[in-house]
Structure 1
Amino acid sequence: MPNEPRKALERLCAERGEDFAGLSRFLGRNPAYIQQFIRRGTPKRLGEDERRKLARYFGVAESTFGGPAEGDLPPPGLVPVKRVLVRASAGPGAVPGLEREHPYFAFDERWLKALTGSKQGDLSIIRVEGDSMAPTLNDGDDILIDRAGCEGSLRDGIYVLRVDDSLLVKRLAIHPLGRRVTVQSDNPAYPDWPDCDLGDIHCIGRVIWAGRKIV
């Protein structure tokens, strides 16, 4: 329920004699932050770090403030990244079906920060289908995509793209002049798409890591 975290926080403050302004400063926020959250619903939900700090401060489960249930939390120092139940085709094109989240991978926090400065919510795991990006990416590989990697100017790299009603994973080679791009397959058996208009490219995310089963 959307209001449950607010009610729980207000109740805990009343029971333990905590004032809203002091709790706001504890979170590094302006003195009115907690009062606005409880009484006005702004922000709509507490940030992950804020939930964690409040849970530790009051000695309650993070789920009290809208976080995941304790059984869903990774060990300390690991960052959970959700797997999205779609496949990105390295072949004829995978039709996006159930674009919903499923149990996550958990990455070492320091390792992940060295890989990308993007927020946790911008990261997703999806699975590759097909062989057009072999040997770089193979059928069944899990790839970590950074949706923030599509913001601003694109640069050379491997991306998940939406083309019509399909998701594709391809390499983009950005032309040095103008808004043109070549969409490439690493497998030479598949043709490239030269001289595409950058405005026609619907970028979902940049591929920043891949994991695979060794056979």
Structure 2
Amino acid sequence: MDDVRTHLQKLMEDRGDDCLSISRLLGRNAAYFQQYLRRGVPKRLKEEDRRTLATYFGVDELSLGGPASPAPASTVLVPRLELGASAGAGAHAGLEHRAGQIGFERNWLRKLASSPEALSIIQVAGDSMSPTLGDGDDILVDRGDAAERLRDGIYVIRMDDALMVKRLSMRPAHRLSVLSDNPAYPGWPDVDASAVTIIGRVVWAGRRIS
């Protein structure tokens, strides 16, 4: 449950809320949410409170300690990871935190990926891959389509302990070009492939229409 409390604390801070406002949202006494976060009382969120918070923060109930929803056999539940891939200077490659899951039709995923079970969803941070990928876009990353099948395309990679999304182009003699689609950002036109860890190929992107 500590992971759930940590996740809620971050969601609350990112949105600019405080414990009092969340207690009011839940229709509870003023100290309710602070006691839940700081003292562990109650130990678990009530089902109706968990549902309210999941709707308010736009996350899956699973990430707030809820049960996994059964999915039809034709549906693959792809994990959504809190760790993002920077389309800019690079995000520190820390621990991944599961922030929920999104269901996709299995046959549709098979057209995109080497294996539907090898997929995960992360969020792009920054605009160096604009206009192809924008800040805040969700991307499907095929971890089964990595170094062994490397070819020209967009990949999530790790360089110098930073996670980023870049366009890769094959060069002779085990070299790579690591490029940004946004011309305002410099790329690395000639990199030793051994300096790049390939996490997976980007096979799909989704974005909010404002």
Residue 156 of structure 2: aligned partner: 160
- In 2, distance between residues paired with 1:123 and 1:79? 10
Q: Does 1:190 align with 2:190?
A: no
Matches within 5 A, 1:90-109: 90-109=87-106
Question: Structure 1-normalised TM-score?
Answer: 0.64
The CA deviation string for residues 115-160 of structure 1, in whole angstroms up to 9 with x for no partner, is 123141x111000000000000000000000111114141000011
Residue 109 of structure 2: aligned partner: 112
Whether the 8 Å contact between 2:79 and 2:99 is mirrored in structure 1 is yes
Residue 19 of structure 2: aligned partner: none
Q: Does 1:79 align with 2:76?
A: yes
Question: Structure 2-normalised TM-score?
Answer: 0.65
The root-mean-square deviation of aligned C-alpha atoms, in Å, is 1.6
Change in 2 beyond 3 A, CA 1:151/1:195: closer
Secondary structure at 2:109 match in 1: helix
- In 2, distance between residues paired with 1:142 and 1:80? 15
Q: What is the deviation of 1:77?
A: 1.9
Whether the 8 Å contact between 1:85 and 1:98 is mirrored in structure 2 is no
- In 2, distance between residues paired with 1:137 and 1:214? 13
- In 2, distance between residues paired with 1:98 and 1:204? 14
The amino acid that maps onto 1:164 is: D
Whether the 8 Å contact between 2:76 and 2:116 is mirrored in structure 1 is no
Indicate which of 116, 120, 135 corresponds to 1:124.
120
Runs of 4+ in structure 1 off by over 6 angstroms are none
Aligned length: 145
Which moves more between the two structures, 92-101 or 179-188? 92-101
Change in 2 beyond 3 A, CA 1:93/1:117: closer
Identity %: 52
The amino acid that maps onto 1:87 is: G
Matches within 5 A, 1:26-65: none
Q: What is the deviation of 1:70?
A: 6.9
Q: What is the deviation of 1:76?
A: 4.2
Residue 36 of structure 1: aligned partner: none
- In 2, distance between residues paired with 1:119 and 1:214? 26
The CA deviation string for residues 16-50 of structure 1, in whole angstroms up to 9 with x for no partner, is xxxxxxxxxxxxxxxxxxxxxxxxxxxxxxxxxxx
Whether the 8 Å contact between 1:84 and 1:102 is mirrored in structure 2 is yes
Whether the 8 Å contact between 2:129 and 2:181 is mirrored in structure 1 is yes
- In 2, distance between residues paired with 1:71 and 1:198? 40
Residue 62 of structure 1: aligned partner: none
Change in 2 beyond 3 A, CA 1:71/1:167: closer
- In 2, distance between residues paired with 1:201 and 1:210? 23
Secondary structure at 1:134 match in 2: coil
Secondary structure at 1:152 match in 2: helix
